[in-house]
Structure formats: structure tokens, C-alpha cells
Amino acid sequence: MQTYRFSITWEAEFVGKELSAWTAPANLRCGDLILLYEGVSEGGRGAFVAVGRAVTDAVRSSKGDKGFWAWLEWRAAKTPLPLARAKKLAKFSVMGSHGRIGEAEFRRLSRAITASDAAAQKALAGWRDGRGFPTTDQVPLRDLVLASMGPTYEWHSYPAITDALLEEGWRQLPDEVDARIRPLRGDLAFDRGVIRTLQPDITLCRPRAKRLLVVEAKRIAVPTNGYRNPVDQVMDYSRACRKALPQDWTVHPLLVAEEYSDRVIAEAETTRLQARTDRPACRVWDGRKLGPDLVRDSA
């Protein structure tokens, strides 16, 4: 689960509960949590005014601005949290329409926003547990497919996959490497030249060997058009990481999924290699342990 800050410059029109489609960062995933900030330039209140949850992944629009959109569930604050007070509770930025915010900062701010609203507190606790997703009469069926997967969906497995990789000898990133990777930016295979903020699912390393592991986790790895193409996605992240690291580092891309299509394995086998970047590995996650590299075994 990731935590975000969204910003608008006008006063939000909803009160109480709201369910609607919003522009979103490309890496927003079903279940991610959000704080909504209103700037003052176009009539906003200069305060945090709602807590929210993504109930679908972000999906790229085929028309209009061709940006990314997701269905979001909002709970408006009974009492908005002014920016001055929020700054005393946590360190964050409100610049830009979207941005990541630390989990600890999110907890402090969301606690203050919902302090006088028991119903909002209960809803937020349910969101954290992956409960209470909307029904098909509220959100289009296609957009709810991922939400319906519940606690087996990708981000729930990140800690367990990380633990399995740590047991194999990978390590958490040193501060200086983490500082280079955290503001990661780059373009994507389907839209070259458009620079975006990127967020790999898991990054670990072998510090002595100067080797970075970039992990993209999928429940089922199948090729689709656009940013969900698994091999393109992990290689896009790896390319951006390689540019962010010193020249003597090597990047090892890894796909992790419960199931793979044959085409994904074939694409991984034939991927054009990049400088100081390994061929992507594909390993099966069974909920407890990681299997061998399917690409290497098929060679």
C-alpha cells in the first residue's frame, strides 16, 4: 500500500462520501491511500480537506488528455486541517497535482483530519485492511476487477516477497543509494519522451557487489497494451535506475508473479539488453517462497 498527497486549487464540491474518477499518477494502485489538499489560488481553503482511497488502478485514457485516471473514494473532513497546522505535524510538499507522502506523515495527518469524525476513522481503518470496496452499480465492472481480488492482490505480497529476497542475500538500500532512487524519473516504452515519476514495487541491493535489484510484482503476468506490459515495465524502471546510479553499478530486473503467460517469458528471453543491466528474470511466487528463474531454465 502506497500513500499519496493530491492537490487541487479550487474548493472541493463534495461533502461526506464521494466516489468518482480522478486524474492520478500512473503508478497509483487499487488500495493506495490519499490525502487531498486545497490550494488557495482559485478559491481553495489552503487546507487538507479529505482522505481517500483508490478503488481501481490508474488507467491511461485513450482520448482527451491521454493522462491516467482512477476511481477514487473520498471522505470529506468535517473540519479541514489548515496548512499551517499540518506543517507542525509532518514534513511534506503540496507542490504539483500528485506526490508521494511518507506513511508516518500520512498517519499523523489523517489522524488529525478525522479526529472529530468517528465514521471517517472507521472507514479509514477498513481501507487499511482492504475492506469495503464499492459494488458494480457504483463503479464500472471492468474497473473493479482488480479491486475484487482483495488481499491477494499485488501490494499485499510486497513485504513477504521482500523477506524472501532478503533471505537470499539481498539487502535494504544504503541511504546514499536510496536517495538516488527515491526521486526516480524516466519515460516508458509506450510513450517515449514523456518524463514521469516512477516507483518500482521493490528495490534491494548487494552493496559490496554494487548490484541493484528492481522488482515488478504481478498477480498474473500477461502482456497488454500500454504500461502494464510486464517486461517493458520492469525494463523501464531498470533503465531509469541505471541512469540514476553511479556508472559502476549493475541493475538486475526481476519479474515476480503467481502465473506467467508463455509470451511474457519469451519477451524476457529476447529483451534487448541495456548497458550494465541484466536480462530480466521471471520467478514464480507461491505465497511463501520464490521459484527458480523461468527465463534461465527455458534457455
pLDDT tens per residue across span 86-113: 999 888 888 888 899 988 899 999 999 9
Lowest mean pLDDT among 12-16, 54-58, 213-217, 256-260: 12-16
What integer pLDDT is reported at residue 241 of this predicted model? 94
CB atoms within 10 A of CB 229: 20
**Would you state the cell numbers that stand for residue 144, as one nine-digit string?**
473493479
- Would the pTM of this model clear 0.75, i.e. be above it? no
- CATH code reported for the domain at 154-298: 3.40.1350
Domain 3-140 and domain 154-298 have a common topology? no
Answer yes or no: is pLDDT of 249 > 90.
Answer: yes
Candidates 76, 81, 69, 26; CA nearest to 52 is 76
pLDDT tens-digit readout, 179-219: 888 888 887 777 677 777 788 889 999 988 999 999 999 88
Amino acid at position 117, single letter: D
pLDDT at site 281: 96
Query: Which residue ranges make up each domain of the chain?
Result: 3-140, 154-298
Q: Which residue has the cell 506543517?
A: 87
- Region class of 279: left (phi > 0), else alpha (psi between -120 and 50), else beta: beta
How many other CB atoms are there within 10 angstroms of residue 235's CB atom? Answer: 27
Query: Is pLDDT of 141 > 80?
Result: no
Residue 66 has pLDDT above 70, yes or no: no
What mean pLDDT is reported for the chain? 85
State residue 144's pLDDT score: 65
Please tell me the predicted confidence (pLDDT) of residue 172: 94
The CATH number that domain 3-140 falls under is 3.10.590.10
Distance of alpha carbon 234 from alpha carbon 228, whole angstroms? 10
Q: What percent of the chain has pLDDT over 90?
A: 39
Distance (Å, whole) CA 297 – CA 299 = 6
At residue 9, does pLDDT exceed 60? yes
Q: What is the mean pLDDT of residues 161-184?
A: 91
